[in-house]
Structure 1
Amino acid sequence: MTALLWILVAIGLVGLVVMAISTKVIQEYQRGVAFRLGRLREPLEPGVRLIFPGIDKMVRVDLRVVTLTIPPQEVITKDNVPARVNAVVLFKVVDPVRSVMAVENHAVATSQIAQTTLRSVVGRADLDTLLAHRADINEDLARTIDSQTEPWGVQVQVVEIKDVEIPQAMQRAMAREAEAERERRAKIINARGELQASEELSQAAETLSRNPASLQLRYLQTLLELGADHNSTVVFPIPIDIIGPFLGKLPQIIDKFTEPAASHAAPGPTEAAASAASSNGRTQHE
């Protein structure tokens, strides 16, 4: 009787140990892919589940978004510029069964596919597109990688290019190009400003010419602006209408002053020769 009791106690202890070992807790963000004697069972939902050792085998699959960093890749763009590009991939498992049955390690496989796709997509774009239209390249990368990982039950949500490293010589060339472009824009803006200013000045001149009093007011305003600073400059504006007649008679006045001076000037060589000839003639006659 005592031996039988000990046997029952031993069986009970073994059963408790087996139950403790067989009890598995699946978290809310996990799913369990179980195999019984090598055959696939239904996915195990979150909660407490019994997995008998030696009979059952369970693989935990995390359904959360996984961040995968792609190491820097040496690529050559479409316009033959060498560059180093790295990126980050965000993906998650949407089908736990296929992520276990279709691929050995879905995380490693997704990483390798992302690296090769990154080199391929960047190699089809030139450097300007890679730098200026990065969003389009990111969408192309996500779409291409997701199409290859979809049979594994993996959904790629986001692919972002983090950094693009180019040679120092190319950076200096791009800096010179940007500086030249800025200078070109500055010259164009300055020329447009001069054109607009000339048009406005022309309109203002036409408006002022229709009313002489407005021109006088403009003169007075200019004097006020000059007198705002403490300086010794004195400006007397004289309208052109007043000095215009004098300017018209200026050539006549200059001619009047030059005629008396020409009359009192010394005789030229021709006049001196003629005077000497006449003097000689009178001497011979005498």
Structure 2
Amino acid sequence: MYQINITEQMVDAEPQEIITFDNLNAKVDAQVYFKVKADEEDAKNCIYNVNNYQWQIVNLARTTLRNIIGTLTLKSANSERGKINDELHKTLMSETAHWGIEIVRTELKEIDPPKDVQETMNKVVKAENEKISAVDFATATETVADGQKRAEIKKAEGIKQARILQAEGEAEAIRLVNEAANKYFTGNAQVLRKLEAVEHSLQNNAKIVVPANTELVNVIGEMAGVLPLKREAKEEKK
């Protein structure tokens, strides 16, 4: 009598070195999850159709991995783990169909390159990261410089606009002063010229007859065309 475990089980395909398509030795390991089918016919098949199905699954998985990864470069193998798992699962399902077992899933544990290759890859990745960091830093620095430049331009434009407004204000003030001068001081200028003419006449010893009871200021004013000063009425003596 045989006792058969029909629960899900796992076997390790054990690490092995596989030569990739680009002639690099990669250390590969995988796990296979399976279970014996619960019906009587399949239970018999796992006993009579295969000798030690667990050991057979391990060897079949190792051989299949060599066939799959041997067609891939190391870089492709690392980036296409899902594809490798699918192909491994499909092959195991096909090859074990008459063993009375079900391959539940396969898991690729590792694909490690040789130590020297790994160190070189790490250096390449580090160099790429440093390059990206340098580009990002340069971009950030350029952005800050551009912002400062724009701020200085805005500041200069503000100062320029303020000076323009100040100059326009001063020009407007001068214009208003000129208008006021032309409007309010033209007549006074004419009077001043007349007074200057009277002064010039007096300097030439011209004789002026001053009527009685007339103030000299009013006489000169009349000569210059200036309205006479009004005399305050004197109170009559009682």
**TM-score range with shorter-chain normalisation?**
0.5 to 0.7
Counterpart of 2:119 in structure 1 is: 172
The reply on whether 1:85 has 2:85 as its aligned counterpart is no
| Aligned-pair identity (%) | 28
Which has the higher Rg, Structure 1 or Structure 2? Answer: 2
Counterpart of 1:36 in structure 2 is: none
Q: Is the 8 A contact 2:74 2:113 kept in 1?
A: no
Counterpart of 2:4 in structure 1 is: 61
Counterpart of 1:119 in structure 2 is: 66
Alignment of 1:158-197 (within 5 A): 158-197=105-144
Counterpart CA distance in 2 for 1:125 and 1:155 is 28
| Equivalent residue for 2:82, pick from 110, 125, 135 | 135
The RMSD of aligned alpha carbons is 2.5
Counterpart of 1:210 in structure 2 is: 157
1:177 deviates by 0.8
Any idea what the Cα deviations from partners look like across 1:253-274, whole Å, max 9, x if unmatched? xxxxxxxxxxxxxxxxxxxxxx
Counterpart CA distance in 1 for 2:156 and 2:95 is 78
Counterpart of 2:16 in structure 1 is: 73
RCO higher in structure (CA 8 A, sep ≥6): 2
- Paired amino acid for 1:60: Q
1:183 deviates by 1.7
- Paired amino acid for 2:97: E
Counterpart CA distance in 2 for 1:100 and 1:137 is 29
**Number of paired residues?**
158
* Structure 2 residue runs without a partner (length 5+): 163-238
- Paired amino acid for 2:153: E
Counterpart CA distance in 2 for 1:150 and 1:102 is 11
1:103 deviates by 2.4
Counterpart CA distance in 1 for 2:29 and 2:85 is 12
| Equivalent residue for 1:98, pick from 31, 34, 45 | 45
Counterpart CA distance in 2 for 1:205 and 1:126 is 55
Counterpart CA distance in 2 for 1:65 and 1:136 is 23
Counterpart CA distance in 2 for 1:142 and 1:153 is 16
1:101 deviates by 4.0
Q: Is the 8 A contact 2:5 2:36 kept in 1?
A: yes
Counterpart of 2:145 in structure 1 is: 198
Counterpart CA distance in 2 for 1:167 and 1:100 is 40
Any idea what the Cα deviations from partners look like across 1:213-266, whole Å, max 9, x if unmatched? 9x9xxxxxxxxxxxxxxxxxxxxxxxxxxxxxxxxxxxxxxxxxxxxxxxxxxx
What secondary structure sits across from 1:141 in the alignment? helix
What secondary structure sits across from 2:2 in the alignment? strand
Counterpart CA distance in 1 for 2:139 and 2:22 is 35
Q: Is the 8 A contact 2:34 2:101 kept in 1?
A: yes
What secondary structure sits across from 2:4 in the alignment? strand
Alignment of 1:206-245 (within 5 A): 206-212=153-159
Any idea what the Cα deviations from partners look like across 1:189-236, whole Å, max 9, x if unmatched? 1222133223322332332223239x9xxxxxxxxxxxxxxxxxxxxx
Counterpart CA distance in 2 for 1:133 and 1:208 is 57
Any idea what the Cα deviations from partners look like across 1:2-24, whole Å, max 9, x if unmatched? xxxxxxxxxxxxxxxxxxxxxxx
Counterpart CA distance in 2 for 1:168 and 1:150 is 39
What is the TM-score of this pair, normalised by structure 1?
A: 0.49
Judging by fraction of residues, say which structure has more strand.
1
Counterpart CA distance in 2 for 1:192 and 1:144 is 51
1:132 deviates by 3.5
1:60 deviates by 2.7
What secondary structure sits across from 1:157 in the alignment? strand
Dislocated runs of 4+, deviation >4 Å? none
